[in-house]
A and B are shown apart, each in its own frame.
Chain A
Amino acid sequence: MHELSICQALLSQVTDIASGHGASLVERIIIEIGPLSGVEPTLVAQAFAFARAGSCAAEAILSIETTAVTIRCMGCGAQSVTTPSRLLCGVCGGYRTQITAGDELRLRRVELRAPELQPAASATA
């Protein structure tokens, strides 16, 4: 589904970051995916295995951190952790809620291989 588009967008951002830091290889990419992002972490991991080929992240590990759905009630102000299909306030039951976590689809961190280590690292990889 659209997980491949997501991976292409991810790799485009990662490539920009790597070239901005003078690195040609990426060691590890850490992303956050919430249950309300509309994106399935398992499918992103599968799509990434294809999408990364030929890029600076061809050998990179993709770590996916998932988040819990958290809402804040605009009525009583309470925060509650809940499930994607029930977004009502856990305290007063109010429907005017704001999603404060759980809809992330975000690149958190990129770990780049130091340029001087690249020949040795690629020889042993």
Chain B
Amino acid sequence: MCGTCGCNITPGNAHLIPPRGEAGTVVEVLQDLLAGNDRMALHNREHFDAHGVLVINLMSSPGAGKTSLLEATIVALRDRYRIAVIEGDLETDNDAARIRAHGIPAVQITTGTACHLDAHLVHGALHQLPLTGLDLLFIENVGNLVCPASFDLGQHLNVTLLSVTEGDDKPAKYPVIFRASDLVVLSKTDLLDVLDDFDPARAAAALRALGGGTPMVRTAVRRAPALGSWLDWLEQELARPRAVLRSSSSRLAAAAASGA
């Protein structure tokens, strides 16, 4: 067996290993490993709810078009809603600069080598971002379909982008993040006519197989802009009474809170 960390001790062979401290103490814990993160996420969510701001965690692989979607959304909605953005990237404040160019407050979190945002990083960013008067806060997570799914930030809703330049089986390959999504945005659909290997029906079927009935909308922001379904969904969420937000936390948060 591996003598370094015991990584191949299984329920089947664990009884063969003698305890090293005869009179040691066994402590039953049953606590989520991310309990510290979840406590901070709850704190963030209370902060958001106190200000009546709807918070959306935007996730995708790198280059799926999160920042471009945000820019187009800001242009479409800024006359009616006050919007702010928290940007997460390993390096550079390029994305925050793109958002600020639209006259919208944006705070950049650079994570260095960390592949995801966590609730503490978001809490730190909130100290630089007044929430008073805001209607909508987007948190653009680090481009990554794996790690962001494990960390609750305190958001109300998770939105995951799937661009048509990726494989249409992405939901099957990354079930954790897609199952945790409240909405999946099929982005760059203006490229569909030149990409004959991406079948939106196959992507929808892979998403359906994850259960939960997560809706999927199509967007395009370049050649033939199409944002209608996405903006309809956003406005519907913005129109929900803020008191409801308190109890209708995102699926990711609900899963964390249940301790499941």
Contact = CB atoms under 8 A, between A and B. Distances in A.
Q: Which 3 A-B pairs have the closest CB atoms?
A: A61-B6, A45-B7, A87-B211
Interface string B10-40: 1100100101111111111111111111000
Given A64-B7, A85-B173, A103-B260, A117 B29 contact: no
Size category, A interface: 35 or more
Contact of B20 (A97, A99, A109, A113): A113
A116 B23 contact: yes
A6 interface: yes
A114 B21 contact: yes
Most A-side CB within 10 Å, residue of B30, B118, B150: B150
Mostly, the A contact residues are mixed
Interface in B115-152: 115-116, 118, 146-147, 149-151
Interface of A: 1-2, 5-6, 9-10, 12-13, 17, 21, 23, 25, 27-28, 31, 36-39, 41-42, 45-46, 48-49, 52, 61-65, 71, 84-89, 94-97, 99-101, 103-114, 116-117, 121
A111 B19 CA distance: 9
Size category, B interface: 35 or more
A109 to B, nearest CB: 5
Interface stretch (B47-55, B95-103, B174-182, B187-195): B174-182
Contact of B175 (A5, A85, A106): A85
B224 interface: no
B5 A45 contact: yes
A86 B209 contact: yes
A70 B208 CA distance: 17
B231 interface: no
21 contacts: A2-B116, A2-B150, A17-B27, A21-B27, A28-B6, A45-B2, A46-B5, A52-B5, A61-B17, A62-B5, A64-B7, A84-B176, A85-B209, A99-B260, A101-B260, A103-B255, A106-B259, A107-B31, A113-B20, A113-B21, A117-B22
